[in-house]
Amino acid sequence: MDPRSSWTRTTPADLERSLLAPGSGGFLAVGAGEVLGCVGYRPDGDRTLTLNKLATVPQARRLGVGRALVREVEHVARMGGYGRVLLAVSQFNLDVLPFYDRLGYVVSDDLYAHANPSSPPPVVLVKKLESEEPRETE
């Protein structure tokens, strides 16, 4: 197992801090009674919802689990009136950049407020969102 994998580095304490902090939230993907992946989010100002702790178990990769988790965070952002979703990718995990590119995220020069000062600066990605307005029914 790759020790750089986000799944192997995600601890229960990390999830608790990310998912249960005031104003934060997240999702677990569960299949056949097992957790397949997780994602967290937190507001960063009035316009930005920050996605964090996206991780999937190795056997669930390439099945759409990560994509579904990201889409759920984007839905929360739209419904909350946020104009964008921001995330940071560690310099040690750059091979995930094409995944986010396929989902419409672009590299930004924004600073990541939650960066670890003892780590190399992360790559910040942003996706601008269009609001989800209720559909009219006939």
Find, among 34, 33, 104, 27, the residue nearest to 66 by Cα. Answer: 27
In DSSP terms, 87 is beta-bridged to 125
Chain mean pLDDT for the chain: 85
Average pLDDT over residues 99-125: 94
CATH 2.30.30.240 for domain 6-128, yes or no, is no
Sign of CA dihedral 46, 47, 52, 56: positive
**Domain limits of the chain?**
6-128
- What tens digit of pLDDT does each residue of 2-49 get? 444 455 555 667 666 666 677 788 888 888 888 899 999 999 999 999
